[in-house]
Structure 1
Amino acid sequence: MALTREEIEKYLSLESEKIKGPDAVCEQMIRHWVEIMEDENPLYSDEEYAKNSEYGGIIAPPMQVQAYTMQPVWPKTEREPSPMERFIKCLRDEGYTSIVATHQGQEYFAPLRLGDEISYTITVDQVSDEKQTSRGPGYFVTFLWTYYNQKDELVCKQSFTILAYNAGA
């Protein structure tokens, strides 16, 4: 059964409280990223090069921002569910229990510096009308993560779109 536009509107543009990431930007996580991605950018690993750059020191790859905010799997972090989590629960309760990611984008505003502590908010940004897809009826839902450093400077905006669908319909 399709959600009404009125039900969907209850979730749109709601922004979560700021959620602080558990890890500060650090050389070890940068090293792991650089190794696995085989990224040779000296700004991420060459202290002397980075010190003489416009940044004045080592920075983290910007696309790594989400890694610093991922909550531990164990022990489970207790907090209020975000608008995204509440909306996904609403979709599941209505039978849209299957999810596939369809798009992600990031826009960067400030570098990630060693020692930065990253926090973020989540917003339900856009929800399509119900679409009939080859997977079943569903909704394309775009969430917006907004990342900040400890100085409350905007670091990154990340959009993430999913298709939440009813595979059994």
Structure 2
Amino acid sequence: MTHERIMAEAERIKALGEASESRAPYPVNQPTIGAWLDAMGYDNQRFRQGEAPPSMAQVWTMPGLGRRRPDDDPLSRMMELLTAEGYTAVLGTNCEQTYERYLRVGEQLRVTTALDSVVGPKSTAMGEGYFVTSRNTWYVVHPDGRSEKVATMLFRVLKFIPKERP
């Protein structure tokens, strides 16, 4: 019955759509862009003059230390259920990002999260598990209240029961 419980909960969470929303605690800003460029060892004058590298979309809304994901976060809810069912290990397997446009200093972001899919059980070299894919969509919130989609990300992880080692 474990598989049926897992898939029923996945369908329930998926039906909620973009159930979770978070706002970036800070607007896009040059000091964070500069620190990111330095950490990545990447230098491009374009990104030192008011634009953010597209691959930074996630940086602005990551919970970081001391903050938590929203209680209704679909990925967290699915991971908690799988943990409770004995699937205790995690392996990041895939991340696909799409960018609509560059972000500019001063823009305020929000992100929504939805559960895209749960596939399994699959037998892998690591153990039996489920591939869980969430879909994040980032929006710039304009001063007039309208939102503009600027990036999306499919994030897929394998949540599994580790194989016994001899």
- Structure 1 length-normalised TM: 0.84
Question: SS state of the match for residue 120, structure 2?
Answer: coil
Counterpart AA for 1:28: P
Say if 2:52 is the partner of 1:60: yes
Shift of 1:2: 4.0
The ranges of structure 1 where at least 4 consecutive aligned residues each deviate by more than 3 angstroms after the TM superposition are 76-79
Question: SS state of the match for residue 84, structure 1?
Answer: helix
Moved more, 65-74 or 23-32: 65-74
Match of 1:156 among 127, 130, 151: 151
> Where do 5+ consecutive residues of structure 1 fail to align?
48-57
Q: Aligned residue for 2:82?
A: 91
Q: Aligned residue for 1:122?
A: 113
> Where do 5+ consecutive residues of structure 2 fail to align?
none
Q: Aligned residue for 2:127?
A: 136
Question: SS state of the match for residue 23, structure 1?
Answer: coil
Counterpart AA for 1:137: E
Shift of 1:168: 5.7
Match of 1:104 among 87, 95, 108: 95
Describe the superposition over 1:140-165 as per-residue Cα deviations: whole angstroms up to 9, x where unpaired: 11111100111211010011110000
Count of residues paired in the alignment: 157
Note closer, same or farther for the CA distance 1:90–1:78 as it changes in structure 2 (3 Å cut): closer
**Whole-angstrom distance in 2 between the partners of 1:86 and 1:15:** 13
- Structure 2 length-normalised TM: 0.86
Q: Aligned residue for 1:6?
A: 8
Shift of 1:17: 3.4
Question: SS state of the match for residue 101, structure 1?
Answer: strand
Question: SS state of the match for residue 112, structure 2?
Answer: strand
**What do you get for the CA RMSD once the two structures are aligned?**
1.9
Question: SS state of the match for residue 36, structure 1?
Answer: helix
**Whole-angstrom distance in 2 between the partners of 1:126 and 1:71:** 23
Shift of 1:112: 0.7
**Whole-angstrom distance in 2 between the partners of 1:72 and 1:63:** 17
